[in-house]
């Protein structure tokens, strides 16, 4: 009894959570990923990411000078170090995993122990000894919301941020954009190969052991269809694949969004113009975040971190590819109108279920084609 897909050592592969795992499991698995320097390095050397945070802090030193800062999920401690370098009077750097000890070493090695205090624990349970002027955090997951770590930032905001204090980043947006992609073809072909493999397998089981497995055909098909056709994939989309402008379907103001709003399903409508016509073989989903400070304490130099398709290559988040099979046929100038819903998985609130209902609206006439509904898992 062993599977070919065993846990790799050192966190080079990570967790698939069981639907029946208790909340505590989720935490344990979630955090373990971030306790390896290998992963910290991966994130740090994404210089679009690290550089955007560096710029957001160092180009706005006036906002940090003499302030009290809280870094939620500090990891290696890098954002806390930036804040200290920018002149913060005090930085509390909270980290749940054993990475905290490395953060402490890094802070000391860079001569910032008198400013940065690393606290190991979850933000939900630690005590920070004073209210803070700024909360900085790199909390974004795939398609923005995966991992649900924004919850922890809001808990920190509610517990520790002074009135008028600023969140870095301060805003986040989510996008959908129509694209051309042969991943839908590929995944369809892989799905078909997998089903052929199943057919051979059930034949063998009958021949060798006189056991008929046919009653599981549909269940296997469902399992494989979900894996190949209904699970979004990490993608580094080239802008040349895009068939029309992006539709921003959601913006979060981190100063005002509530935990209740995050816990509820996200339901938004969108309209995407398909400039170049179809076939539209997928939707690409991604996010950006903005560093604008707070209303009372705006940044001098707003900074943006975008994960949009980019000819120089993707951030470590890439984009999420939502395959469409069969592709959506439409003429140049037609639009795709629809609704997207993003729901946390019941049994693991860090993973997501997405439903996209959409239909083609003909340019000028406003006539709508048949409504299609696609379901996806963000795992």
Binding to a second copy, residues 241-300 (CB under 8 A): none
Site for a second copy in 172-201 (CB under 8 A): 197-198, 201
The answer to whether 44 touches 69, Cβ cutoff 8 Å, is: no
Residue 322 is a binding residue for a second copy (CB under 8 A): no
Residue 263: which residues within 8 A CB-CB, separation 6 or more?
151, 344, 349
Say which DSSP state 224 is in.
Answer: H
Element housing 186 (H / E): helix 183-209
Q: What does each C-alpha distance from 134 to 159, 298, 305 come to in angstroms? A: 13, 11, 18
Q: Which CB, 78 or 88, lies closer to a second copy?
A: 78
Stretch that binds a second copy, among 107-115, 126-134, 239-247, 268-276 (CB under 8 A): 107-115
Neighbours of 343 (CB within 10 A): 14
Residue 8 is a binding residue for a second copy (CB under 8 A): yes
| Minimum distance from residue 17 beta carbon to a second copy (Å) | 7
Residue 126 is a binding residue for a second copy (CB under 8 A): no
Closest CA to 285 of 231, 317, 321: 321
Q: Which CB, 238 or 316, lies closer to a second copy?
A: 316
Residue 12 is a binding residue for a second copy (CB under 8 A): yes
Task: Count the alpha carbons within 13 Å of 82 in the hemisphere toward its beta carbon.
Answer: 26
Task: Count the alpha carbons within 13 Å of 107 in the hemisphere toward its beta carbon.
Answer: 28
Residues designated as active site: 138, 147
Residue 24 is a binding residue for a second copy (CB under 8 A): yes
- Which position among 125, 127, 163, 208 is part of the footprint of a second copy (CB under 8 A)? 208
Residue 39 is a binding residue for a second copy (CB under 8 A): yes
Closest CA to 120 of 112, 111, 128: 128
Say which DSSP state 243 is in.
Answer: -
| Minimum distance from residue 368 beta carbon to a second copy (Å) | 32
Site string for a second copy, 330-359 (x = CB under 8 A): ---------------------x--------
Site for a second copy in 57-86 (CB under 8 A): 73, 75-76, 78, 81-82, 85
């Amino acid at each position: 009894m062993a599977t070919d897909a065993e846990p790799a050592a050192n966190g080079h592969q990570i967790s698939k959570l069981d639907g029946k795992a208790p909340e505590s499991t989720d935490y344990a698995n979630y955090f373990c990923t971030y306790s390896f320097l290998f992963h910290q390095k991966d994130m740090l050397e994404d210089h679009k990411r690290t550089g955007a945070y560096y710029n957001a802090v160092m180009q706005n030193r006036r906002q940090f000078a003499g302030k009290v800062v809280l870094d939620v999920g500090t990891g290696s401690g890098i954002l806390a170090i930036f804040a200290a370098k920018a002149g913060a009077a005090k930085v509390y750097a909270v980290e749940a995993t054993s990475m905290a000890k490395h953060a402490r070493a890094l802070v000391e090695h860079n001569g910032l122990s008198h400013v940065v205090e690393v606290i190991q624990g979850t933000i939900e349970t630690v005590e920070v000894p004073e209210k803070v002027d700024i909360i900085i955090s790199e909390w974004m997951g795939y398609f923005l919301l995966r991992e649900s770590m924004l919850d922890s930032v809001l808990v920190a905001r509610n517990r520790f941020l002074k009135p008028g204090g600023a969140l870095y980043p301060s805003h986040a947006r989510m996008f959908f954009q129509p694209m051309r992609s042969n991943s839908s073809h590929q995944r369809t072909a892989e799905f078909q190969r997998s089903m052929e493999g199943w057919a051979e397998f059930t034949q063998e089981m009958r021949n060798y052991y006189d056991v008929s497995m046919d009653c599981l055909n549909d269940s296997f098909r469902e399992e494989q269809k979900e894996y190949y056709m209904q699970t979004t994939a990490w993608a580094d989309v080239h802008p040349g694949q895009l068939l029309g402008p992006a539709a921003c379907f959601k913006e979060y103001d981190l100063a005002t969004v509530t935990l209740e709003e995050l816990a509820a399903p996200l339901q938004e409508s969108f309209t995407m113009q398909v400039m170049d016509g179809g076939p539209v073989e997928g939707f690409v989903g991604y996010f950006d975040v903005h560093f604008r400070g707070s209303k009372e304490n705006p940044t001098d130099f707003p900074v943006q971190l975008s994960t949009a398709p980019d000819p120089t290559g993707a951030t470590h988040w890439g984009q999420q590819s939502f395959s469409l099979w069969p592709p959506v046929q439409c003429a140049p100038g037609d639009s795709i109108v629809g609704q997207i819903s993003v729901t946390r998985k019941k049994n693991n609130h860090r993973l997501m279920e997405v439903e996209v209902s959409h239909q083609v609206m003909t340019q000028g006439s406003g006539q709508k084609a048949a409504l299609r509904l696609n379901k996806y898992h963000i795992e």
